Structure 1
Amino acid sequence: MKWKAPNTGQEHKTLASEGILDTPLAVPSAEVRIALRKTNSQKEAGPDNIPGRALMVCLSELADVFTDIYNLSLTQALVPTCVKSTTIIPLPKKNTVTCLNDYRPIPLTPIVMKCFERIVMSHIKRNIPTSLDPFQFAYRQNRSTEDAVNAAIHTALTHLEGNDTYVRMLFIDYSSAFNTVIPHRLSEKLLTLGLAPSLCNWVLNFLTDRLQSVRVGNRTSGIRTVSTGTPQGFVLSPLLYTLFTYDCVASQKPTPR
């Protein structure tokens, strides 16, 4: 079984990385087997119509096949369109629906891509600097909203120990945060963080020209191509959003009284 990048006639966007040592990520078969073994056999099939049960039953036969496909994808910095497609199923958040915001989009994504993403995510986490913003709590291992609340309270109480002091807090919530990610800028930031150019280009290709459709009951909409944001339901999306915003750190120092 072989996969070859299709000739679509469109320009393949890549980052300029002259003079930077680049060794494409190579995934061993053992790592692919571990990723496939974590598949939920009850997981519903995504747009590729490959259910989790099929991957589990045929794991021994498919592990080497997917290892070749994954490594070819990483070497060429190309992600097959069929595995970066999404089917959105809108479910109502409440009994009475009055507008589109009353629906929660549930994405169905290819299971084989989830396995691939877990492998790439592990590699990215191992290679990014440990000196990222210490006050970034979302989507980071061994951190939670409780840690964020405790850090804010500790900082405020420590400041209030001084005489004639007060605290002001500004809380900001991003609407559709994942949709704000600009793929090309994200790839440039990943390059700055020290990731290999080939992997940065792989991420860029992963986030662009994605196919998306909506399914309601037994009816499916037409397919739209999406090239912005990080896709909901994909394993890499939370980490990529965190890395896209890693340099949004506090720049205003306290004013002496």
Structure 2
Amino acid sequence: TDEALHFVLKVYNKFWRESYVPEQWRMATIIPITKPGKDPSNPSNYRPIALSSVLCKTLERIVNERLTDYLEMKKIISNVQCGGRKNKSTTDHLVTLEYKIRENFAHNEHLISVLFDVEKAYDQTWKYGILKDLHAMGMRGLLPKLVAKFLEDRKFRVKINNTMSEPFTQEMGIPQGSVLSVSLFAIKINQIATLIPNNNRFHASLFVDDFQISYR
């Protein structure tokens, strides 16, 4: 109802003004799913599916909209990054790479391409480094404070069938399955993207944590 929506809006506005994220919203339930064709006896062969509060995800979308607007307005994120950006997708990178391959083939030249997939990308991200980067980008006010609160004291439980574990504290990394995490990871990995030489012999493409570099 309109009354319920108005109440939720008031709650979100209060949390925004106070840079507050409830403890329950910073708790995730992890359901491990075996990767296709992998040995289920090896714990590293499971993909963690994180379930969190629907209300929190809605708040994250609001915050993420403001965050991405700032990043795009200030042109902070490198053009080689297409992950989590409006009107960009893997298709952009595929078309460009195909063009590079065809161009070099037509000129009887070689093209060397190296592809990287960062292992446990979110789990190994330095979350305090993200806050440092936000400050270095000139971001001040309530937005970085709310992001800091969102990353603070994250906890998770693991659920297998009907059995739930005790809560664990997420000491490092950014939360899996989070709406905000894609943008936060893009901020952290952006430093790597800016190191790629900008000339007609090098080409780089990045989709969140999938990285491709080619040279001719």
Q: Given the two structures, how large is their TM-score scaled by the length of structure 1?
A: 0.67
Tell me the residue number matched to 1:244.
188
Match of 1:76 in 2: 18
Partner amino acid, structure 2, of 1:150? V
Match of 1:14 in 2: none
User: Residue 241 and residue 235 in structure 1: after superposition, are their counterparts in 2 closer, same or farther (change >3 A)?
Assistant: same
1:218 matched to which residue of 2?
162
Deviations 1:73-101 (A, max 9, x none): 22222311111210111233358622113
Q: 1:148 maps to what in 2? A: 93
Answer whether contact 1:86 1:109 (CA < 8 A) is retained.
Answer: yes
Q: 1:203 aligns with which of 132, 138, 147?
A: 147
3-state DSSP class of the match of 1:149?
helix
Q: List aligned pairs for 1:172-187, cutoff 5 A.
A: 172-187=116-131
1:61 aligns with 2:6: no
**Please, what is the CA RMSD of the aligned residues?**
2.6
Counterpart amino acid of residue 155 in structure 1: K
User: 1 or 2 for the larger relative contact order (CA 8 Å, sep ≥6)?
Assistant: 2
Which stretch shifts more, 232-241 or 65-74?
Answer: 65-74
| Match status 1:129 vs 2:87 | no
Decide whether the 8 Å contact of 1:183 with 1:208 is kept in 2.
no
> Where does residue 42 of structure 2 map in the other structure?
99
What are the equivalent positions in structure 2 for 1:3-42 lying under 5 Å apart?
none
Partners of 1:101 and 1:172 in 2: CA distance: 19
User: Which deviations, in whole Å up to 9, do the C-alpha atoms of 1:187-241 show, x marking residues without a partner?
Assistant: 2222333433321121122112011001112211010111422211111111221
Q: Give percent identity, aligned residues only.
A: 24
- 1:165 Cα deviation (Å)? 4.3
Q: Give the count of matched residue pairs.
A: 197
Give me the TM-score of the superposition, normalised by structure 2. 0.78
Q: Which has the larger radius of gyration?
A: 1
* Paired AA for residue 193 in structure 1: M
Q: Which runs of 5+ in 2 are unaligned?
A: 203-216
Q: Distance in 2 between matches of 1:64 and 1:192?
A: 36
Task: Mark the CA change 1:106 to 1:166 in structure 2 (over 3 Å): closer, same or farther.
Answer: same
Contact 1:156 1:167 (8 Å CA) reproduced: yes
SS of residue in 2 equivalent to 1:153: helix
> What is residue 179 of structure 2 aligned with on the other side?
235
Distance 1:93 1:109, change over 3 A: same
SS of structure 2 residue aligned to 1:91: strand
Q: Report the 3-state secondary structure (helix = DSSP H, G, I; strand = E; otherwise coil) of the residue aligned with 2:190.
A: coil
